[in-house]
């Protein structure tokens, strides 16, 4: 099939989808508004992938100089520039399927093109968070949903929200976790490269791999650290990620007197992440909202016990007290209490970690889960 895939962030999720599409011998076109100077090498290097890059930023340069009204006009011009180009590409490429998400961005571009069949793939926050920000965003979201021939998402809470917003036919919403590479993410406690590099061979290591944005509430974890350190002074923390809150979070560790206990690792290539997971003793995620977190699945596949917040998508994977601990959002005291409990009980950590390994093997295998996307494509073609 000829697939036109639209995405602009070009993160690891996109790479995994595009790689599989190319491996299955589809004729794959990527349309992107990626804002960086150079496309990610893992994506640009995919054999057989044809890339069409738009650059509406040229219209938007210097918008901070203008009034709100003028900025809106320039944003509209940028979108129209993309829309006209996209309509031309559709006529030229003649795809069998357009596959797009984020809902309010690339999904909107696909929706207004009125091309069918159109598969919409929400990412999580574009359904769980953004529609509630304004009436305009909610209207835009509903419009895109109404234009999709089918929708695929990675967790039940996203499906539930879609139905609440739009009364979309539940039979046309297919839920499957996007999954991870289980050949890459697997237990290997002999891999001590990170511990050795940091001089932490004899330490207990807590790991968080969330970007430094408000929605991931990394500050809640940092606020929990002093109590953890007081109970177990040989504990150290690795924060893998980057984002606009980085300097603020670094300053918070200074203010709390724990800067020497925390290592900020910046963004790490995905193929290097198993080294971090296998160097850790406990994985944490304090997100305020999320879809199925691939970082969580990667930690589980590497046999780590986890402490996570009680958001619905996490509850699809973690049973409190069985394969991890669940805490309320915005609760540093609860985080510290659960971590201290795990640090005090080696056998419990091993038991929970093994359960997570088995769950990941059963439910998070990307090689298996991807086949559900092929079935969706087949249904769309059949109903074309």
Give pLDDT tens digits for 98-146: 999 999 999 999 999 999 999 999 999 999 999 999 999 999 999 999 9
135 & 239 share domain:
no
First to last CA, the chain: 13
Q: 3-state DSSP call for residue 351? A: helix
- Are the C-beta atoms of residues 364 and 177 closer than 8 Å to each other? yes
How far apart are alpha carbons 239 and 267 in whole angstroms? 9
The answer, yes or no, to whether residue 66 has pLDDT greater than 80, is no
How far apart are alpha carbons 36 and 30 in whole angstroms? 16
How far apart are alpha carbons 285 and 45 in whole angstroms? 32
The count of other CB atoms within 10 Å of the CB of residue 360 is 24
- Are the C-beta atoms of residues 274 and 302 closer than 8 Å to each other? yes
Please compute the mean of the pLDDT values over residues 46-75 and round it to a whole number: 73
205 & 108 share domain:
no
Q: Residue 164's domain is classified under what CATH number?
A: 3.40.50.2000
How far apart are alpha carbons 373 and 64 in whole angstroms? 41
173 & 251 share domain:
no
Please, which pLDDT band fits residue 59 given cuts at 50, 70 and 90? very low
How far apart are alpha carbons 120 and 5 in whole angstroms? 10
How far apart are alpha carbons 152 and 369 in whole angstroms? 12
157 & 272 share domain:
no
Q: Which runs of consecutive H residues, i.e. helices, occur in 148-271?
A: 156-166, 193-198, 218-231, 246-255
161 & 198 share domain:
no
Report the mean per-residue pLDDT for the chain.
95
How far apart are alpha carbons 64 and 68 in whole angstroms? 9
316 & 345 share domain:
yes
DSSP one-letter string for 267-307: ---GGGHHHHHTT-SEEEE--SS-SS-HHHHHHHHTT--EE
Give, as one character, the DSSP assignment of residue 148.
Answer: -
254 & 106 share domain:
no
How far apart are alpha carbons 36 and 31 in whole angstroms? 14
Beta-bridge partner residues of 152: 174
154 & 263 share domain:
no
Classify strands 173-175 and 150-153 as parallel, antiparallel or unpaired.
parallel
pLDDT at res. 58: 45
The answer, yes or no, to whether residue 189 has pLDDT greater than 90, is no
Between 190 and 249, the more confident residue is 249
Q: 3-state DSSP call for residue 167? A: coil
Chain centroid to Cα 299, Å, comes to: 14
145 & 281 share domain:
no
Chain centroid to Cα 261, Å, comes to: 27
How far apart are alpha carbons 337 and 327 in whole angstroms? 10
Q: Give 239-252 pLDDT, tens digit per residue.
A: 999 999 999 999 99
Full residue range of the structural domain in which residue 233 is found: 193-363
Total tally of structural domains belonging to the chain: 2
- Are the C-beta atoms of residues 186 and 163 closer than 8 Å to each other? no
Residue 188 placed within a domain: no
Residue 297 placed within a domain: yes
Q: Give 258-276 pLDDT, tens digit per residue.
A: 999 999 998 899 999 999 9
Residue 184 placed within a domain: no
107 & 225 share domain:
no
For 169, counting Cβ atoms within 10 Å of its Cβ (0-12 exposed, 13-18 middle, 19+ buried), the class is exposed
354 & 378 share domain:
no
378 & 349 share domain:
no
């Amino acid at each position: 099939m000829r697939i036109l895939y639209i995405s602009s962030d070009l993160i690891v999720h996109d790479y995994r989808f595009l790689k599989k599409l190319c491996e299955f011998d589809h004729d794959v076109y990527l349309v992107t508004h990626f804002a960086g100077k150079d496309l990610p090498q893992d994506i640009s290097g995919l054999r057989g992938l044809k890339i069409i890059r738009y650059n509406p930023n040229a219209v938007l340069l210097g918008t901070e100089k203008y009034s709100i009204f003028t900025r809106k006009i320039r944003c509209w011009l940028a979108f129209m520039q993309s829309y006209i180009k996209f309509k031309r590409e559709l006529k030229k490429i003649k795809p069998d399927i357009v596959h797009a998400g984020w809902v309010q961005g690339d999904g909107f571009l696909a929706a207004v093109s009125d091309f069918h069949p159109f598969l919409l793939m929400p990412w999580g926050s574009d359904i769980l968070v953004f529609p509630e920000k304004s009436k305009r965003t909610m209207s835009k979201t509903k419009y895109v949903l109404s234009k999709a021939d089918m929708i695929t998402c990675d967790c039940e809470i996203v499906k539930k929200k879609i139905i609440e917003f739009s009364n979309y036919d539940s039979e046309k919403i297919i839920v499957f976790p996007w999954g991870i590479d289980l050949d890459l993410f697997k237990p290997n406690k002999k891999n001590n490269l990170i511990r050795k590099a940091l001089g932490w061979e004899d330490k207990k290591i807590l790991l968080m791999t969330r970007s430094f944005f408000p929605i991931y509430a990394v500050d809640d974890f940092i606020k929990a650290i002093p109590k953890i350190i007081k109970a177990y002074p040989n504990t150290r923390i690795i924060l893998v990620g980057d984002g606009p809150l980085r300097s603020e979070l670094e300053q918070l560790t200074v203010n709390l007197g724990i800067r020497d206990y925390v290592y900020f690792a910046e963004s790490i290539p995905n193929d290097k992440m198993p080294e971090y997971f296998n160097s850790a003793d406990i994985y944490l995620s304090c997100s305020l909202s999320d879809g199925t977190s691939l970082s969580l699945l990667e930690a589980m596949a590497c046999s780590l016990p986890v402490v996570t917040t009680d958001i619905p998508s996490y509850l699809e994977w973690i049973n409190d007290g069985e394969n991890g601990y669940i805490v309320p959002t915005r609760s540093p005291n609860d985080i510290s209490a659960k971590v201290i409990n795990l640090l005090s009980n080696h056998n419990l950590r091993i038991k929970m970690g093994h359960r997570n390994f088995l769950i990941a093997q059963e439910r998070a295998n990307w090689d298996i889960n991807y086949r559900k996307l092929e079935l969706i494509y087949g249904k769309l073609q059949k109903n074309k």
